[in-house]
Structure 1
Amino acid sequence: MPRVTHPSSPGLFPEGDTPRSRIAYETRRTTQRAAQAANRRRATPRWLRFLGRRATILAPLALVGGLVLWGWASGKLTAAGNAMNAAFLDVTSRGGLQIQEVLVKGRKETDGAQVLAALGVERGSPILGFDPHAARKQLEQIPWIANARIERRLPDTLYVVLTERQPIAIWQHEQKLALVDAEGTVLTDHNLDHFPNLPILVGDGAPKQGHTLLAALAAEPTIQARVDAAVLVGGRRWDLHLKGGTEVRLPELNFEAALHQLAALEASDKVLDRDVVAIDLRVPDRLVVQTSATAAAARADKGKRPPAKKN
């Protein structure tokens, strides 16, 4: 059979119109189209190709973002959110999720009315609208409360656990008395007669420095039992005023050793039971005792008396 040349493509297949030549032709065409497409991609910036591929996603997002920004700037979005939140809380409250009981654990000295005021709730309030974190911060502003923990126990109960501060002394400052804890926090200036056994700290800064002194006194109970007040002198050292009227002057440094020395002297010689006005412990390894004028006169009179005659 004679070979027929493709009428629309004369001379297209140099080797003749054979299956092999047609395959080679199509391969070249495919390669050329791929090269042209690659050239077009290289000519177009990558960010433009990225936007082009994602235009159907980014355009709606941009529209929604613009609407949200407009709503926020105009206040309409906030108002709508508040209205939705109020409606939600109203529905949950009518469904039984409302505060009916407040249980408080750990309250001894804190006023109950202060606790309720800090919580800021009323019976029947929506329990889901209550903010435990904000209420905890308000509770910890009350001087007696060191820390607080609050739980919402659905459907209708608030459970509050309080840790109260522990008073260690009564602070005398500018002719006023107040109860303080180990951190120097002033707890109250009312009902101080409820704490008759606490020592009195006197002077500026005495509450914050007093806990170290009181800890040292606790290690010497015979001295601690006699202390009526401790005065901070110059913000540096302490003078102890004992119940019998004796003044004990402690050194600025290592007053623990001085207190131990005084306790040992009391155990051996009962020095605090004598007619002593002051005991000075400010010089290391030395103890200076000042007696009263009466005791000094008695000793002088005793020295002037003639010795007793022997029979």
Structure 2
Amino acid sequence: MRPVKNRRRDPAPSRLRYRATRLWLRPGFRRLVNVGVPMIAGLAASWTLMAEFDLAGSVSRIWNDTRAAIVERPQFIISSMDIPGVSEDLAEQIRVAAFVRLPANSLEVDVNQVRERVESLDAVERASVRAHANGVLEIRAIERLPVVVWRSMTGLQLLDHNGVRVAEVDSRLRRPDLPLIAGAGAAAHVPQALRLLDGAQPLHDRIRGLVRVGERRWDLVLDRDQIIQLPEEDPLSALRRVMALHAAEDLLDRDVVAIDLRNPERPMLRLSEFAESELVRLRMIALGEDA
């Protein structure tokens, strides 16, 4: 009987070892084993210790005590608010909009949020907020100054030189010092309206207001129900021609109801009924038809 020869050992790795080697060659797996597992173990141990000895409560108490010791220092306390350079009414609006309850801590007051709340007011164009070391919260605001009263479908509103709403009034008598504009879309053309009003300065005491017609052009309304109908294009030049004619001939002191300049090449005058009848009578006299 032949003796059994020893089989030669296969040098190739087993399937399990091969897969384990391939897995270890992956960078993500190595990072997980080398970093993730120790981190998870550390967190678990820390959580166990914190739960066992109430370390979270101790840390929280230490943090609160430290924070209170810093926050309650006098140099961090805001005791007053200074709002220079604005009217008293706007200053009161700013105090309410700032929403800072005094005394307050400067570390807890978000000056950016305070500034945004102040700038949300219609009457404020821009604002800056600073907390000073002497316990004063300084709010500097650039106030929108109303230049016209706009009569819109929703009521009377005060507008600044850019047509931005400043405030609302319940009566025209609240601001008789400001000129009146009216009509849909008039707020978007306040700069042009101001130029026209400036060009009509010789009639300043007689101007009732400007009316935006069809969101395209202006009518200048005077007392005695006189109207100057301005063209859509270059209305200021047309108005200056009327002012020059009035200065030379006292045109607007006569029985003129309207001056129609909508077509600059064909200006027209509309007379009152009495003036028209008198004109007809004078023409008949000139023709010898009136006894």
Which category describes the TM-score, using the shorter chain as reference length? 0.7 to 0.9
Q: Is the 8 A contact 2:145 2:166 kept in 1?
A: no
Gaps of 5+ in 1: 1-43, 69-76
- In 2 relative to 1, CA 48–274 (structure 1 residues): closer, same or farther, beyond 3 Å? closer
Q: Is the 8 A contact 2:155 2:170 kept in 1?
A: no
Which whole-Å CA distance do the structure 1 matches of 2:145 and 2:126 have between them? 12
Which whole-Å CA distance do the structure 1 matches of 2:277 and 2:28 have between them? 109
What's the counterpart of residue 138 of structure 2?
Answer: 159
Which whole-Å CA distance do the structure 1 matches of 2:173 and 2:80 have between them? 33
Provide, for residues 133-158 of structure 1, a one-character-per-residue CA deviation record: whole Å limited to 9, x for no partner: 10111111211111111101014111
Which whole-Å CA distance do the structure 2 matches of 1:124 and 1:109 have between them? 22
Say which SS state the counterpart of residue 128 (structure 1) adopts.
coil
> What is the TM-score with the length of structure 1 in the denominator?
0.68
Q: How is 1:264-275 mapped onto 2 (pairs within 5 angstroms)?
A: 264-275=244-255
Q: Could you tell me how far 1:297 is from its partner in structure 2?
A: 2.5
RMSD: 3.7
Gaps of 5+ in 2: 1-23, 48-55
- In 2 relative to 1, CA 250–48 (structure 1 residues): closer, same or farther, beyond 3 Å? closer
Match 1:257 to one of 232, 237, 246: 237
Q: Is the 8 A contact 1:100 1:157 kept in 2?
A: yes
Q: Is the 8 A contact 2:199 2:239 kept in 1?
A: no
- In 2 relative to 1, CA 249–306 (structure 1 residues): closer, same or farther, beyond 3 Å? closer
Say which SS state the counterpart of residue 167 (structure 1) adopts.
coil
| Structure whose alpha-carbon radius of gyration is higher | 1
Q: Is the 8 A contact 1:89 1:129 kept in 2?
A: no
Letter of the aligned partner of 1:250 in structure 2? Answer: L
Which whole-Å CA distance do the structure 1 matches of 2:275 and 2:205 have between them? 25
> What is the TM-score with the length of structure 2 in the denominator?
0.72
Match 1:168 to one of 134, 147, 151: 147
What's the counterpart of residue 108 of structure 2?
Answer: 129
Letter of the aligned partner of 2:143 in structure 1? Answer: E
- In 2 relative to 1, CA 59–272 (structure 1 residues): closer, same or farther, beyond 3 Å? farther
Letter of the aligned partner of 1:173 in structure 2? Answer: S
What's the counterpart of residue 104 of structure 1?
Answer: 83
**Worse-matched range after superposition: 113-122 or 103-112:** 103-112
Q: Could you tell me how far 1:109 is from its partner in structure 2?
A: 6.2
Letter of the aligned partner of 1:256 in structure 2? Answer: L
Q: Could you tell me how far 1:277 is from its partner in structure 2?
A: 0.3
What's the counterpart of residue 177 of structure 1?
Answer: 156
Which whole-Å CA distance do the structure 2 matches of 1:267 and 1:62 have between them? 97
- In 2 relative to 1, CA 85–223 (structure 1 residues): closer, same or farther, beyond 3 Å? farther
Q: Could you tell me how far 1:123 is from its partner in structure 2?
A: 2.5
Q: Is the 8 A contact 1:281 1:288 kept in 2?
A: yes
Which whole-Å CA distance do the structure 2 matches of 1:140 and 1:190 have between them? 24
- 2:168 matches 1:188: yes
Match 2:211 to one of 231, 236, 261: 231
What's the counterpart of residue 295 of structure 1?
Answer: 275
Which whole-Å CA distance do the structure 1 matches of 2:65 and 2:221 have between them? 63
Provide, for residues 20-62 of structure 1, a one-character-per-residue CA deviation record: whole Å limited to 9, x for no partner: xxxxxxxxxxxxxxxxxxxxxxxx848379849x947994499
- In 2 relative to 1, CA 91–285 (structure 1 residues): closer, same or farther, beyond 3 Å? same
Report the identity percentage. Answer: 26
What is the aligned length? Answer: 255
